[in-house]
Structure 1
């Protein structure tokens, strides 16, 4: 599987590829959208081509052009697909942003990247407005889903525009996506992916792992604003000529099962947390997922019990996969291969993944080390924007260091052992302790704090904060709730600490650095004993 020849062209634009598919398959369904109320909206491939062309023409009229960086803050909409494609057509750099971002997050991204424009749903505009004046590079503001003073309306802008637009012939080494991911220190890192990245992703992850076939309906549950949305719902589905099923509603295991029973969904890609909740539903034999033939999972390790339950009731083996914002899929349990429950799987075709030591040398089979990728692998990012230091720290000789540790068995399967750093992965979200701590210490009652990963049966892990109060007598449930709301208001809500423990002091090194590793180990031991 390791041998794969990729004839990567010098010029490539994903949107141009989708336009050509639309010419050949104009009536095929590209997007099927449904909300909690049962309302349905659809886009054929021809309508997707036309709508993205109208948007590209509108962008051109606004002066948004090749190389301009554009923050996109839209939820699960039908329009999300033409919005992304239209930006790619003009050669702009897409900066995906979650609808959960707060003003501080948006300000940081805009100024760090020098973003020119922001496209935001009307429900999110309230987080942009307070920082408009603090983001001098932002000159273009477009609202989606309604009118807003001081903003151009997406719907009005595309009205009457030509449905023809020839995509810019971008080079494969030009920046196409700029996604932000958490770090252990400092602000989020801007991960650079080029136009060549979706070309490679289709030929590796979308082919050997995701596995949607032309004309099939595929449901990848990741939301816009995350690298995983670009991976699967966008590139892997459209790039393979599939139909993207989109559910714009809150997660409910029963609702997910109803939708899978109701629709001809052949491929499902969900998070381990979603699979775990589905597996807990009483009376699973009530649901007949007749069309489902392939299921995969990514974001964190998936436990064997869930895999066994899905196979028992629905006849599909959930295939785990492993990747990061910095790359496409690196390791996976592939279509037609032997799935080893609990294993991340085998390295992707054409990708050299190794388990290495501190000197950058591969360790013997069965020995734990750092999971690393050959720096020449075509799936890797091109560096962190404006951050040569952190880019350099991510490398060790000829390897990119993922930050995760694992071991490789005699047959080449890789088994996850844990994070090598302080990053917290909860329900598939990557959370840096710095972001949580930075928000907490802004509360007037907090003297100092530390945020760590704490094991959790449903979410894999949760954020737990250890807090030293200026006035210890204030400790209590009321203060816990107050601090949790404080964090939610300052940064994306998914980052808030689900548990807070008040302590008199924090463990530190002789130089005064907080030893999160000690707190993390204590949490792991505590949760293991309680189980």
Structure 2
């Protein structure tokens, strides 16, 4: 058996159903757990030649790495980082998109005990300045994209803590060249001892939230965080031992550590990385077919594009499990995918601050399309009202996690350098997700919306996701975001901002508005129906692909309803 996850189960056995899973699935750790030494190096020593990573880009360049390779090269990289003065507790920002070097540098930094800040190449000068100063960044390592490297350079005048800029790929004036320097060094890096050693509760990873409702917060995770992702990979993604897993994610956001690194390697599967310049649904299906992927995870938006392809042209037979997270999955997309492929989509829910909180775990319980599934057994989940009191089944409240008996695996240490935000998040002995949900009589959790996204109109409370799910059943709608706008008669009016599917246009927007309005009225209660429509080429999104409804609301703020209608 060439996987290590068994060693971190308190009781190593199969679970017969969800109740058994919920009651008896518990994880364990050790005081000095470190992913680089206890996972990467263990595979390299115990299972020589075991495949770890398959990487390909749009130029058809392909690289395959074993754990021996990852172990050796990450030791060499750690040696190089230390030679530049990086030590335990230092913060290093990685802007590497999907370059294979990310899978070398992440464990290299873990070896040292440095704090890793994964970041996206979509950052601008002001974003970088904010991050470098908020987190005291000492080194920035970026791939050779002249645009992002130019933004980094512009930020340096106001980034006094940054001592080194490192380029991966082509050389750049004023930057250290990672490949030219590190490849000359020995692949030696003994596990640190005493004060230099890492403790399982030391800070390891710092993520800036995607900012759906405000400026990014700094989420701090410890060295036990990877262990929490055993549930993500083994029981939600359903990864196959010695299989090949793909999660569509750029390394700048937390979904990459959810689906492209920790849990997958601990559970014994290799990771497939497609370093694409832009998303092409036909090309993605070709990759699944050509490489025989065994498990696959993507946001709902990706599935909305995939189901519109001729799926009969691709061999998806080796892919035993498809999963999704990031936004709530529309039930219609689930049904069409199942009809065309014969395969289910297993939905999951979590945050940058956590591992998976709710999900459809293996086949422990039937899937209810559009539902987030049932709670992760690591988390004591409850739906609470504003007074931190439980609400009855079927009633909407905030999804919370009890922490009175300690912080569970995978839940953040807190918001870095922000005692007030951390205290608010953990107020009343629970972690507040900020997401409104309801739990049905069967224990399934259903997403309603962010607390800030709920629309109060004419005395009713409207869930944006509920209305979006209706509109997305119309073939003209590729994506949509539902928000509230100020309305003197109703308090708020429901507005739908829509990206049309290929083949549809807005030459006559009024005609399209009537079609969609009629469709909504035929399929949902009148008070939920959008009164305002806007047609756009793309929706504002975070770096992780989540819709920024707050940006739409800000744009509409202060405008009266009639004015908004005229603008459109």
Question: Normalising by structure 1, what TM-score?
Answer: 0.81
Question: Are the aligned partners of 1:181 and 1:325 in contact in 2 as well (CA < 8 Å)?
Answer: yes
- 2:298 is aligned with 1:267: no
Matches within 5 A, 1:143-182: 143-168=167-192, 169-182=197-210
> What is the CA-CA distance between 1:75 and the residue it aligns to?
1.2
Change (3 A) 1:90 1:423: farther
Distance, in Å, in 1 between the alignment partners of 2:338 and 2:239 is 19
Change (3 A) 1:465 1:147: farther
- Range that drifts further, 230-239 or 363-372: 230-239
SS at match of 2:126: helix
Distance, in Å, in 2 between the alignment partners of 1:39 and 1:321 is 32
SS at match of 1:400: strand
1:453-473 deviation per Cα after TM superposition (whole angstroms, max 9, x unaligned): 99574345389999xxxxxxx
- Which residue of 391, 398, 407 maps to 2:438? 407
- Which residue of 15, 21, 33 maps to 2:55? 33
> What is the CA-CA distance between 1:153 and the residue it aligns to?
0.7
1:233-269 deviation per Cα after TM superposition (whole angstroms, max 9, x unaligned): 1112222221111111121111111111111100001
- Which residue of 473, 481, 501 maps to 1:461? 481
Distance, in Å, in 1 between the alignment partners of 2:480 and 2:32 is 41
- 2:72 is aligned with 1:50: yes
Distance, in Å, in 1 between the alignment partners of 2:557 and 2:213 is 24
- Which residue of 246, 249, 255 maps to 1:222? 249
1:101-124 deviation per Cα after TM superposition (whole angstroms, max 9, x unaligned): 111111101100111111111212
- 2:86 is aligned with 1:59: no
1:345 corresponding residue in structure 2: 373
Distance, in Å, in 1 between the alignment partners of 2:140 and 2:218 is 16
2:528 corresponding residue in structure 1: none
SS at match of 1:162: coil
Gaps of 5+ in 1: 425-451, 467-483, 508-517, 527-531
- Which residue of 299, 312, 317 maps to 1:285? 312
Change (3 A) 1:504 1:394: closer
> What is the CA-CA distance between 1:314 and the residue it aligns to?
2.5
Distance, in Å, in 2 between the alignment partners of 1:503 and 1:66 is 47
Q: Could you list the runs of 4 or more consecutive aligned residues of structure 1 that deviate by over 6 angstroms after TM superposition?
A: 462-466, 491-504
Question: Are the aligned partners of 1:210 and 1:236 in contact in 2 as well (CA < 8 Å)?
Answer: no
Question: Are the aligned partners of 1:55 and 1:82 in contact in 2 as well (CA < 8 Å)?
Answer: yes
1:441 corresponding residue in structure 2: none
Change (3 A) 1:492 1:463: farther
- 2:344 is aligned with 1:325: no
Change (3 A) 1:33 1:462: farther
SS at match of 1:72: strand
Question: Are the aligned partners of 1:54 and 1:162 in contact in 2 as well (CA < 8 Å)?
Answer: yes
> What is the CA-CA distance between 1:308 and the residue it aligns to?
2.2
1:194 corresponding residue in structure 2: 222
- 2:505 is aligned with 1:505: no
- 2:334 is aligned with 1:307: yes
1:359-418 deviation per Cα after TM superposition (whole angstroms, max 9, x unaligned): 101111111111111123333101101111111222331111111111101111001111
SS at match of 1:143: strand
Distance, in Å, in 2 between the alignment partners of 1:234 and 1:183 is 23
Distance, in Å, in 1 between the alignment partners of 2:216 and 2:481 is 20
Gaps of 5+ in 2: 1-20, 456-463, 473-477, 487-536
Question: Are the aligned partners of 2:326 and 2:546 in contact in 1 as well (CA < 8 Å)?
Answer: no
Distance, in Å, in 2 between the alignment partners of 1:464 and 1:66 is 47
1:10 corresponding residue in structure 2: 31
> What is the CA-CA distance between 1:183 and the residue it aligns to?
4.7
Distance, in Å, in 2 between the alignment partners of 1:392 and 1:403 is 14
Change (3 A) 1:155 1:495: farther
1:347-370 deviation per Cα after TM superposition (whole angstroms, max 9, x unaligned): 001211111001101111111111
- Range that drifts further, 154-163 or 370-379: 370-379
Change (3 A) 1:460 1:29: farther
2:497 corresponding residue in structure 1: none
CA RMSD between the two structures: 3.2
> What is the CA-CA distance between 1:422 and the residue it aligns to?
4.8
1:73 corresponding residue in structure 2: 95
- 2:399 is aligned with 1:371: yes
- Range that drifts further, 365-374 or 376-385: 376-385
2:425 corresponding residue in structure 1: 394
Distance, in Å, in 2 between the alignment partners of 1:280 and 1:40 is 28
- Which residue of 379, 386, 393 maps to 1:358? 386
Question: Normalising by structure 2, what TM-score?
Answer: 0.76
Matches within 5 A, 1:100-179: 100-123=122-145, 124-168=148-192, 169-179=197-207
1:430-461 deviation per Cα after TM superposition (whole angstroms, max 9, x unaligned): xxxxxxxxxxxxxxxxxxxxxx9995743453
1:254 corresponding residue in structure 2: 282
Question: Are the aligned partners of 2:212 and 2:546 in contact in 1 as well (CA < 8 Å)?
Answer: no
Question: Are the aligned partners of 1:322 and 1:344 in contact in 2 as well (CA < 8 Å)?
Answer: yes
Distance, in Å, in 1 between the alignment partners of 2:485 and 2:165 is 37
